């Protein structure tokens, strides 16, 4: 709701509506503080991504970087920064370490800074590259959407990556593709890249092979950002992001499907919180 709509609903001035909202956001605990004090039931499987938003005074949009625990769908923490670079991402993973988040598996898109910064803090982490992002990068490199020349090759790559395979099976299918395209200078670099990164592409047991979960959360964030159009300052943006993430953590799930159907009727904070925590006393 706009501040004008709030002022009309509660019969107060627009300035008063703004002040009350701003004060409420300031009074909220930080997302990380909630995790530190009350939450420890995490799976150690983290999907990480960033979203860009408009802030007055900055020429480019600014990223906020966050992660979602796969099994609980909870957001342990986030950072808001001026760039999605190695330093910012390392700060994010360092904050996770301080929260004692038990990170074992990292799932993300093909941003090398995400993996390298994570390895600096969690050197034993195992990485799953999002298959959807990987395939899309190949499509772009071959101009699949405008030029049908390499569509048959792309179909074979999609077949290779469509399911979790044993290493022997992966090697067998990849070798068949190589034998067919070994004289094509556009295909060979792609196949060599797949071979180099196959451990990050084959998939681990019970670990998602895509970032679909966090992408769905991104869609919710994007809808809110689009409606707001931007923020007046870095501080205002950070306050709003913190408030909105807390809202997401306390919102009851209603449309989870498949293996996550059991989450319906609960919120992510209640799932990750320690057993002795009374969530009604947090706010």
pLDDT in tens, the chain (283 residues): 778 888 999 999 989 988 998 899 999 999 999 999 999 999 999 999 988 999 999 999 999 999 999 999 999 999 999 988 999 999 999 999 999 999 999 999 999 999 999 999 999 999 999 999 999 999 999 999 899 999 999 999 999 999 999 999 999 999 999 999 999 999 999 999 999 999 999 989 899 999 999 999 988 888 877 777 788 899 999 999 999 999 999 999 998 999 999 999 999 999 999 988 777 766 5
CB atoms within 10 A of CB 159: 12
Q: Work out the angle between the directed axes of helices 188-196 and 167-181 (0-180°, nearest 10).
A: 170
Cβ atoms of 257 and 212 closer than 8 Å: no
For residue 47, give Cα distances in angstroms to 174, 225, 229: 27, 21, 26
Q: Is 27 exposed, middle or buried (0-12, 13-18, 19+ CB in 10 A)?
A: exposed
């Amino acid at each position: 709701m706009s501040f004008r709509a709030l002022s009309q609903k509660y019969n107060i001035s627009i300035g008063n509506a703004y002040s009350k909202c701003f004060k409420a956001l300031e009074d909220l605990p930080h997302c990380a503080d909630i995790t530190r004090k009350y939450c420890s039931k995490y799976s150690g499987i983290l999907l990480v991504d960033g979203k860009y938003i408009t802030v007055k005074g900055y020429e480019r949009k600014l990223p906020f970087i966050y992660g979602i625990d796969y099994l609980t769908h909870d957001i342990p923490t986030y950072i808001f920064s001026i760039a999605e670079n190695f330093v910012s991402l390392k700060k994010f993973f360092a904050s996770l370490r301080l929260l004692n988040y038990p990170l074992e598996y990292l799932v993300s898109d093909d941003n090398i800074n995400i993996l390298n910064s994570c390895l600096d803090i969690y050197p034993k982490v195992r990485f799953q590259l999002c298959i959807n992002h990987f395939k899309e990068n190949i499509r772009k490199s071959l101009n699949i959407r405008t030029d049908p020349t390499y569509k048959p090759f792309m179909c074979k790559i999609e077949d290779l990556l469509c399911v979790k395979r044993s290493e022997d099976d992966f090697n067998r299918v990849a070798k068949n593709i190589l034998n067919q395209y070994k004289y094509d200078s556009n295909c060979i670099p792609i196949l060599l890249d797949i071979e180099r990164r196959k451990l990050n592409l084959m998939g681990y047991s019970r670990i998602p092979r895509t970032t679909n979960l966090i992408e769905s959360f991104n869609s919710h964030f994007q809808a809110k950002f689009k409606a707001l159009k931007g923020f007046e300052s870095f501080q205002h943006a950070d306050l709003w992001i913190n408030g909105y993430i807390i809202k997401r953590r306390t919102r009851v799930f209603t449309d989870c499907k498949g293996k996550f159907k059991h989450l319906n009727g609960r919120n992510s904070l209640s799932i990750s919180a320690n057993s002795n925590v009374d969530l009604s006393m947090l706010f």
